[in-house]
Amino acid sequence: MIPVQDFKKEVKEWAEEIGVEPDEIHVREMTKKWGSCSSRGRLTFSYALLNRDSDERSIAIVHELLHLRYPTHNKMFKSMFKSYLEEKGIDPNILI
Ligand SMILES: [Zn+2]
């Protein structure tokens, strides 16, 4: 399990790479999802992610960060999602 602070650092590093700026980053208990993104740029991640490995965390992080740019899972969202992860050698389908 990684500390919340380290996780938030990972989110910030990815945000820089993608070129987006989340207003706030929160980690809390979530039952059905790995994360969410409000229309005002507030990102919330599931506490359970802290127990997942680095590649799995990246998948959830990139997903929510991309919502700051694309609110829906449209074609552009999907193609950027795949390309950011595959660039790092991460299979985008491993986080279920
Ligand atoms: Zn989504």
- All structural domains of the chain, each given as residue ranges with its CATH number in brackets, are 4-87 (3.30.2010.10)
| 60 Cα: distance to centroid of ligand 1 (angstroms) | 9
Query: How many angstroms separate the alpha carbon of residue 88 from the centre of ligand 1?
Result: 20
DSSP-derived 3-state class of residue 37: strand
**Model-level pTM?**
0.95
pLDDT digits (tens, 9 = 90+) for 11-65: 999 999 999 999 999 999 998 899 999 988 999 999 999 999 999 999 999 999 9
CA of 14 to the centre of ligand 1 (A): 16
Distance of CA 26 from the midpoint of ligand 1 (Å): 16
Is residue 88 scored above 90 in pLDDT?
A: yes
Cα 77 to averaged position of ligand 1 atoms, centre (Å): 9
